[in-house]
Structure 1
Amino acid sequence: MEDFKHHLLDRGFSSHTVESYLYAAKQLEDRVSVGFSNESLLAHKDWLASRYAVKTVNLRITAINSYLDFVGYDGIRLKSLHVQQKPYLDNVISQNDYELLRDSLKRDGDLFWHFVVRFLAGTGARVSELRQFTVESVFMGYLDLVSKGQKLRRIYIPASLQRDSAEWLKLLGKTTGYVFTSKGNAPMTARGLSLGLKRCAARYGINQDVVYPHSFRHRFAKNFIERNPDIAFLADLMGHESLETTRIYLRRTASEQRAAVDATIDW
């Protein structure tokens, strides 16, 4: 195991990853004490699957395969467990609840959180991206971001949202800097935004489980695909690398499935 540890360190693995790989390899050695065989490896995989979550099993399998490569075992390499996607979207805010939250915040003059909600649902931005909107980007109508792979992604601000938020910023006398700030000029933290949304949900009696930043990104995608079926365009708007990631928005939410069943089946 010491040699395997040095091998992993030489490959640049983090100490946490090395520790995880060593644990998986030692667990394998302890359970398959009479030497590896294809049958014993498959039996060990079955044992893992019976005791751990799929994600944990797949991490162990990756580590085991690395160990098998290191010791030069000439048999099989274990395949990861298939992670089956749910046939529905879970915990997505409904259009009715979104509108209730949006309109209630505006009615009560809580425009900061009103626009947080509208920007999340109207642009499909992740919370990390929401934090980067500036006054300048509002007046331009879009925010350009560069990913780690130097790929440009443009997040558009719809015309009505651009107009309304520009008027709000003018009333605040805000002419530059980040839009959603806490104290000072720094953007509000992701945690601060998440907790603030939960408080807003509680204020208006909306289920807090469906009110979190990414829920509004799901709402954006669901609404878009219902009005424009161009899934490739939606994938570009959301910054997805694969269309498979975007296809989930073709599915109904659990509550939508339930409503469809209730409306259809009366026998």
Structure 2
Amino acid sequence: MEQMDFSIEVSESEIEKFADYLYQKENAKATINKYMADIKKFLSFLADDKRINKKVLLQYKEWLVQKYAVNSVNSMLAALNQFLEFLNVGKLKVKRIKVQKQPFLQDQKELTEKECRKLIATAMAEGKEQLALCIETIACTGIRISEIKFFTVERVKSGKVEIYNKGKYRRIFLPKVLQRKLLSYCHNNQIAEGWVFVTKNGKLKDRSNIWREMKRLKEKAGVAESKIFPHNFRHLFARIYYKVTKDITGLADLLGHSSINVTRIYTATTETVFQKKLDKIVEQEILECTT
């Protein structure tokens, strides 16, 4: 009962301090923004009474479960637990919801190589060369959309792009065909130095804008909207790389994963592909023996 009885009052002023706390922990800007939004949602839930204890936190968890998908709930609880650590009341942390891992991709979300090429061709046909190159860059290197900021003219010329993200450093080697396309784009658009993917004003292209531009290609490309998001091109790269090399350790290094278990998610096949493989095995190896 000790946790239920213990309580602490949260003040609005601690929110900004929390942002600085996350920055000091070297969290990415996107992560900080996400956590801040989640904690503001939590404070909104508290309404006028800002005193929290274990009971209130469990009520908040139940409220989230009723309103959001499980993955979203766990994401918001992760932010909440970080906030509790910041307040030095880690003993009040709330357990996230356990989710059974799905060994298969959803067919309606798997992006095929053919669909990727359609999206690139559609972007080029609409005069959106930069968008086409952005898709190609992710699909050919496996980078995260947030990592396009590391693609500078200088690095592209060297053929190697050093990336520092999530506290880890890794080096990406550019395929020659992609390197030539990027350098040609920079030359034609008079980008002599610095970032490759920039706005007309020379500012770094915002990833949310890139995502929206990708979505607009859906009708002319004939690709389902559920398949068009930046991370899906990263997944496509991972599946193709693993299919060709069977080198999951090397793939983990390329993707910047600390655990191969995370990389396995990227190499998963769909239920349809698994069903076909299973049928083939049974027909050729098991039922054949009984005929």
Contact 1:25/1:67 (<8 A) preserved:
no
Alignment-mate amino acid for residue 100 of structure 2:
Q
**Deviation (angstroms), 1:262:** 8.1
Return the TM-score normalized by structure 1.
0.71
Q: Percent identity?
A: 28
Which AA in structure 1 matches 2:255? Answer: M
Where in structure 2 are there 5+ consecutive unaligned residues? 20-35, 284-291
**Aligned residue type for 2:259:** S
Amino acid of the structure 1 residue aligned with 2:144: R
Q: What does residue 234 of structure 1 align with?
A: 251
- Among 150, 174, 189, the residue aligned to 1:157: 174
Secondary structure of the residue that 2:254 maps to in structure 1?
helix
Q: Which residue of 2 aligns with 1:73?
A: none
| Contact 1:124–1:218 (CA under 8 A) maintained in structure 2 | yes
1:167 aligns with 2:184: yes
Q: Secondary structure at the match of 1:152?
A: strand
Task: Determine which of 157, 160, 170 is the counterpart of 1:142.
Answer: 160
1:225 alignment partner, SS class: helix
Residue 54 of structure 2 aligns to which amino acid in structure 1? A
Q: 1:94 aligns with which of 73, 94, 112?
A: 112
Q: 1:23 to 1:145 in 2, by over 3 A?
A: same
How far off is 1:202 after superposition? 2.6
* Partner residue in 2 for 1:186: 203
Alpha-carbon distance change, 210 to 82 in structure 1, aligned in 2, over 3 angstroms? same
CA distance in 2, matches of 1:101, 1:68: 46
Structure 1 residue 239 displacement after superposition: 0.7
Say which SS state the counterpart of residue 8 (structure 2) adopts. helix
Partner residue of 2:266 out of 241, 245, 249: 249
Please say if residues 126 and 214 of structure 1, whose CA atoms lie closer than 8 Å, have aligned partners that are also in contact.
Answer: yes
Shift of 1:261: 6.8
SS in 1 for 2:156: helix
Query: Given the alignment, which residue of 200, 216, 219 partners 2:233?
Result: 216
- In structure 1, what residue type is equivalent to 2:191? K
* 1:155/1:68 CA distance change after superposition, 3 Å: closer
CA displacement 1:20-72 (0-9 Å, x = unmatched): 89666235899xxxxxxxxxxxxxx9x99x96865648949978xx98957xx
Between the aligned partners of 2:181 and 2:91, the Cα distance in structure 1 is 59
CA RMSD, 1 decimal: 4.1
Given the superposition, is the C-alpha separation of residues 28 and 159 from structure 1 closer, same or farther in structure 2, using an over 3 Å criterion? Answer: closer
In 1, are the aligned partners of 2:6 and 2:54 still within 8 Å (CA)? no
SS of the aligned residue for 1:131 comes to helix
Aligned residue-pair number: 241
Deviations 1:201-259 (A, max 9, x none): 23222111101110100001011100111111111111111111001133203453466
Does the 8 A contact of 2:241 with 2:251 survive in 1? yes
Structure 2 CA distance, aligned partners of 1:29 and 1:166?
A: 54
Q: Tell me the distance in 1 between the aligned counterparts of 2:130 and 2:278.
A: 39
Question: How far off is 1:184 after superposition?
Answer: 0.9
* TM-score normalized with structure 2 length: 0.66
- Conservation of the 8 A alpha-carbon contact between 1:121 and 1:217: yes
Determine the C-alpha separation between the residues in 1 that align with 2:276 and 2:245. Answer: 23
Q: Which residues in structure 2 correspond to 1:68-147 (within 5 Å)? A: 81-90=97-106, 91-106=109-124, 109-147=127-165
For the pair shown, which has the larger CA radius of gyration, 1 or 2?
1
